[in-house]
Chains A and B, each alone.
Chain A
């Protein structure tokens, strides 16, 4: 399970790899936190999350957009996600901690998740997600 920042001139582009879709979703949320707060959060609190979409890539878009919303509005820094993912639905919990300026300041606001450059691939026993966060 990993996330890696790739080159992109204007925005934050990530490649995320995991053995399962659930792990991929968790790691993608951590990548988003890495941009917003300089690092992911730590466990402690939980938030419910559920999203629907019409295909797997739209689902990733909807899910990460929802993580961004929960984090920004609720001041919640996600440490990991525990979600069950099908082709059109993702449901479960986000773990994390409340935002504190001393610990989580200095990141960069993410405006949204881009459909451009969004790709989700399954190769043998692993999943790879490429995604661009607009900063």
Chain B
């Protein structure tokens, strides 16, 4: 382990006060000995930097997929008290409400005989990659409705079923959205990209449930071994990116005005009850709603393809759940025995509310919310459930993915996109992407092993394993 870090127990580490000047609370992160070698000093410093921010409650946290980001580390979680606390775009990220949803089908692996055709159809129906344009023609007024209503807007337009929204965090619509705080520039980026997947690590995968670890939880979530599911991973596209950029500029100037001193300008923030803080929250919530509408539209198109190719009625393809892993939310948590309203920032971290927590769909309430952890390309993804331990230790949070370990430059030197396509093909996985170059950046071994990351959160109890899914076909942006 890196110098200056203390062990708190198996897989639990403390970054003590004083690691960087001005820390108000200690930092805590979760990592197994096997993953310790992947820890970057820069990521630990970012975790410590977050601990210097006004109003931070208890501790600055990071999940086992911790890595060097900007502002907060990726995998970072921090809660700020409404009294004296702040909100920061650096604790949410550029891709506001980047998230994952899982759609179940009644199909089995053997039913997916024409994988290449399936991948081709999905690729054609769902615009991907840089410059991918939506076939939706949103007016400015439509966009306002998207920003306020989220997934419900999409359902109202015929993209999906009424019950879908119940199976999204926040019902697919965050309260407090303020379209007036979303700039013309953000709107201009958002309008042509609605219903598009984007690029980078975003994907749509056809997967099979390969293993069930928790029978009772899997039954509640409607998952059975051998079942074909579809996972969609994307966010708020250029609209959310521009909201982050715009408000970062405003907050960067406001930080000084409020007398807040920070070790990193990307942590620019303002008091939660200030005009600048409220404007960012309203724009962020609007972007989160855009992302939910986006995933809803993509899921609907996916259902249509599956209906066309395999004659599966749409109502038999159920949304298991939709999680947000880049967002700040108003939540009540027990802190030292008292209920406290806080603004929880999760940047590359997933909410993992335990059994009986508010805001979980009734059929899942006894189990805890589903936690969906996407694998990197070609590697397994996992479904877990939230726990009481997460409520006690991490403001109800867990990891969000595998976490990168290798830079783009290193990745490109090591392996070509074509080699990746061929090796996945040998494993029976069909990949469809705009170009081979885009694949090289996302080679499976540029990420930490996802199985090890989820093993850590499972063992610490921040969430518990329910099922492992393996890819059959991958659509990459």
Q: A residues touching B (Cβ–Cβ < 8 Å)?
A: 5-12, 36-38, 53-54, 57-58, 61-62, 65, 69, 72-73, 75, 99, 101, 104-109, 111-118, 132, 134-135
Question: Do B199 and A108 touch (CB < 8 A)?
Answer: yes
Given A73-B185, A115-B252, A115-B264; 20 other pairs, CB 8 A cutoff: A7-B409, A9-B40, A9-B405, A10-B67, A11-B69, A65-B249, A69-B189, A73-B189, A101-B434, A106-B434, A106-B436, A112-B94, A112-B241, A112-B244, A116-B69, A116-B90, A116-B265, A132-B70, A134-B93, A135-B408
Question: Do B129 and A12 touch (CB < 8 A)?
Answer: no
A101 to B129, CA, bound (A): 10
B179 at the interface (CB under 8 A from A): no
A134 to B266, CA, bound (A): 12
Q: Which A residues are CB-close (under 8 A) to B68?
A: 8-10
Q: Which B residues are CB-close (under 8 A) to A65?
A: 245, 249
B95 at the interface (CB under 8 A from A): yes
* Chain B residue at minimal CB-CB distance from A99: B131
Question: Do B438 and A106 touch (CB < 8 A)?
Answer: yes
- Which residues of B244-279 have CB atoms within 8 Å of chain A's CB atoms? 244-245, 248-249, 252-253, 264-266, 268
A118 to B252, CA, bound (A): 13
Q: Which A residues are CB-close (under 8 A) to B295?
A: none
A72 to B199, CA, bound (A): 13
Q: Which B residues are CB-close (under 8 A) to A113?
A: 245
A6 to B69, CA, bound (A): 15
Query: B70, B94, B244: which has the most chain A beta carbons within 10 Å?
Result: B70
Shortest Cβ gap from B447 to chain A (Å)? 10
Question: Do B435 and A58 touch (CB < 8 A)?
Answer: no
B188 at the interface (CB under 8 A from A): yes
- Mark each residue of chain B from 373 to 406: 1 if its CB lies under 8 Å from any CB of chain A, else 0: 0000000000000000000000000000000111
A69 to B188, CA, bound (A): 9
Shortest Cβ gap from B355 to chain A (Å)? 34
* Chain A residue at minimal CB-CB distance from B408: A12
Shortest Cβ gap from B71 to chain A (Å)? 6
Q: Which B residues are CB-close (under 8 A) to A104?
A: 130-131
Question: Do A10 and B74 touch (CB < 8 A)?
Answer: yes
* Chain A residue at minimal CB-CB distance from B38: A9
Q: Which B residues are CB-close (under 8 A) to A61?
A: 248-249
From B245, B265, B410, B441, contact of A108 by CB (8 A): B441
Shortest Cβ gap from B477 to chain A (Å)? 7
Given known pairs A7-B409, A58-B252, A104-B131, the reply for A115 and B265 (CB within 8 Å) is: yes
Query: B198, B248, B408: which has the most chain A beta carbons within 10 Å?
Result: B408
Q: Can you report 22 A-B residue pairs in the complex whose CB atoms are below 8 A from each other?
A: A5-B409, A7-B409, A9-B404, A9-B407, A11-B69, A38-B437, A69-B185, A69-B189, A73-B192, A105-B131, A106-B437, A107-B130, A108-B130, A108-B200, A108-B441, A109-B477, A111-B94, A111-B241, A112-B94, A112-B242, A114-B70, A134-B241
A114 to B200, CA, bound (A): 17
Q: Which A residues are CB-close (under 8 A) to B249?
A: 53, 58, 61-62, 65
Query: A5, A10, A38, A53: which has the most chain B beta carbons within 10 Å?
Result: A10
B171 at the interface (CB under 8 A from A): no
From B74, B130, B198, B238, contact of A37 by CB (8 A): B130
Q: Which B residues are CB-close (under 8 A) to A72?
A: 189, 238
Shortest Cβ gap from A12 to chain B (Å)? 6
Query: B200, B242, B245, B248: which has the most chain A beta carbons within 10 Å?
Result: B245
- Which residues of B195-231 have CB atoms within 8 Å of chain A's CB atoms? 198-200
Given known pairs A7-B409, A62-B249, the reply for A114 and B131 (CB within 8 Å) is: no
* Chain A residue at minimal CB-CB distance from B199: A109
Question: Do A117 and B70 touch (CB < 8 A)?
Answer: yes
Shortest Cβ gap from A37 to chain B (Å)? 7
